[in-house]
Structure 1
Amino acid sequence: MELAEKYWFSSWFDTPYYHILYKDRNDDEARDFMKNLVSFLELPQGASILDLACGRGRHSVFLNSLGFDVTGVDLSENSIAYAKQFENETLQFDEHCMCKPVDEKFDAVFNLFTSLGYFDQEKDNLESIQAIREEIKEGGYGVIDFMNVTKVMENLVPAEVKTVKGIDFDIKRRVQDGYILKDIKFEDDGESYEYTEKVRALDLDKFREYFKKAGINLKHTFGNYNLDPFDEKTSDRLILVFN
């Protein structure tokens, strides 16, 4: 069995419809976040960065444009195939599952835009964090950018229809068994499709538990892409900086 076939999300993330539904993600916001983050970490020009679960590489490409040596990895074959068009001497992309360490160490390892917590097995989340620890050079940093699950669950929109490129995505959200689930149904060219996104509702206490088991030191917590302090009730994001 291929590695990607072990995980439910590989089939959805590998479809063109995933990228259609999320095509309006805010690139300006993402770029500002990267600038704020590398400035806060005081990463020097030429520092090595691993973009873990990089998708089609939008963060990787921008970080590389800032002068960093970037490696982007993702489980999605199609996303990596797309990202490879941007490769150069200091920007590389490879297929890889985050629950195993890559065979290299970096000045910084970034896991961005809620790209953890999709695994069915609890041990895979812990192993992913342990892998990040193995990938960080001495004196380097890891960063996990996750949703603030407390605010998300308190403000969950149960149902909506989002129309993108003429496709009506019928979206329903729910919380079940410690996961936040998003059921997505749509039709295109006479065919019906149905997918479910499933993300474990990891809060700050759960990350602290993972970090303790992984031997990781949590240094800073931020609540948005401007790196303002984290507040469980009001913050949009949970951004963890550790080593």
Structure 2
Amino acid sequence: MLKDSTMWYASWFDTPYYHILYKDRNHTEASDFMDNLTTYLSLEQGEKILDLACGKGRHSIYLNTLGYDVTGVDLSKNSIEYASQFENETLKFRVHDMCRPYSEKFSAVFNLFTSFGYFDQEEDNLSTIKAIKADLNQRGFGVIDFMNVDYVIDHLVPEENKEVNGILFKIKRYVQDGYIFKEIRFRDKDEDFFYTERVKAITLRDFQNYFDKADVDLLDIFGDYQLQKFNSKTSNRLILIFR
């Protein structure tokens, strides 16, 4: 149904099938990462955190249980509508384009679980870095949790079938023109569907170039959710701490 859309992420992320396919994501791992990250950053209860590209809000909700004042934002109206049921005085969700600064200042801005590099325009990646910097208060930290491109390409599974909720998803992965593609085909209710995910293969050097252009200081680099040292060949994540 959808191929090479100029905003594929807006369409695919808004479908129920996206959430069906990825419903088994590890919530314990996500919670442990938030524990490790907030401890490392020495964030105190009551401080404000912006969860940038929050999806249905799993990280935002957990961060709020730790005592933080959390705002979750995402381009997907359906995801924000779902997440909004969990709102309280210190947890809110809003539709927002992460290329643009938000209207408040935060002690931390988190961009988690490879929620970067989707844009068609290269300048939007730099604009997002600049927006994160603009959203930080004087002592604030930016965090981008991205895939380690070298590791992902070395361990790429070209084809895979995955059945979830009675739906057989046929997945194909490949690298082309500086992007990592995932083609997703499936049939449901007598209708065939086809979506394409595309993420720019951004390396540590690429991020460093963005940071230089945005006048951002890179403070630390980690390679997994336990915040172990980054290794370009063996780390599965690229976690960047900056301000």
TM-score range (shorter-chain normalised) is over 0.9
1:218 maps to which residue? Answer: 218
In the TM superposition, what whole-angstrom CA distance separates every residue of 1:134-154 from its partner, at most 9, and x where no partner exists? 001001100000000000001
Q: By how many angstroms is 1:198 displaced?
A: 0.2
SS at match of 2:72: strand
TM-score if structure 1 supplies the norm length?
A: 0.97
Contact 2:73 2:95 in 1 (8 A): yes
1:190 aligns with: 190
Identity %: 62
Provide, for residues 16-35 of structure 1, a one-character-per-residue CA deviation record: whole Å limited to 9, x for no partner: 00000000000000000000
1:25 matched residue in structure 2 = 25
- Mapping for residues 133-212 of structure 1, pairs under 5 Å: 133-212=133-212
User: Structure 2 CA distance, aligned partners of 1:89 and 1:166?
Assistant: 38
The corresponding residue for 1:126 is 126
Aligned counterpart, 2:229: 229
Structure-to-structure mapping, 1:39-118, within 5 angstroms: 39-118=39-118
Secondary structure of the structure 2 residue equivalent to 1:171: strand
The CA distance in 2 between the partners of 1:44 and 1:95, in whole Å, is 26
CA shift at 1:8, angstroms? Answer: 1.8
Whole-angstrom distance in 2 between the partners of 1:140 and 1:65: 20
Distance of 2:155 and 2:113 partners within structure 1? 19
C-alpha distance in 1 between matches for 2:9 and 2:140: 30
Query: CA deviation digits over 1:40-95, x for unaligned, max 9?
Result: 00001101000000000000000000000000000000000000000000000000
Name 2:12's counterpart in structure 1: 12
User: For residue 161 of structure 1, what is the amino acid of its counterpart?
Assistant: N
TM score, norm. by length of structure 2: 0.97
Paired letter, 2:197: E
Distance 1:194 1:63 in 2: 34
User: How many residues are treated as equivalent by the alignment?
Assistant: 239
What stretches of structure 1 of length at least 5 have no aligned partner? none
**AA matched with 2:135:** E
1:168-212 CA distances to partner (integer Å, 9 max, x unpaired)? 000000000100000000000100000000000001000000000
Q: Which runs of 5+ in 2 are unaligned?
A: none
The residue identity in structure 2 corresponding to 1:143 is: V
Please state whether the residue corresponding to 2:202 is helix, strand or coil. coil
TM-align CA RMSD: 0.8
CA distance in 2, matches of 1:50, 1:104: 9
Q: In structure 2, what residue type is equivalent to 1:196?
A: T
> Which deviations, in whole Å up to 9, do the C-alpha atoms of 1:106-165 show, x marking residues without a partner?
000000000000001100111011100000100110000000000000111000100000
Runs of 4+ in structure 1 off by over 4 angstroms are none
CA–CA distance in structure 1, aligned partners of residues 230 and 128 of structure 2:
23
The one-letter amino acid paired with 2:100 is K
Distance (Å, rounded) in 2 between the aligned partners of 1:14 and 1:194:
14
Aligned AA for 2:218?
L
Q: Which amino acid aligns with 1:199?
A: V
Quote the Cα distance in structure 2 between the aligned partners of 1:35 and 1:230. 19
1:7 Cα offset (Å): 1.9
User: Of the two structures, which has the highest relative contact order with CA contacts closer than 8 Å and spacing of 6 or more?
Assistant: 2
Contact kept? 2:6, 2:120, Cα under 8 Å: no
Whole-angstrom distance in 1 between the partners of 2:6 and 2:209 = 26
Mapped to 1, the partners of 2:8 and 2:195 lie a distance apart of 9
Give the distance between the partners of 2:215 and 2:133, measured in 1 at CA: 8
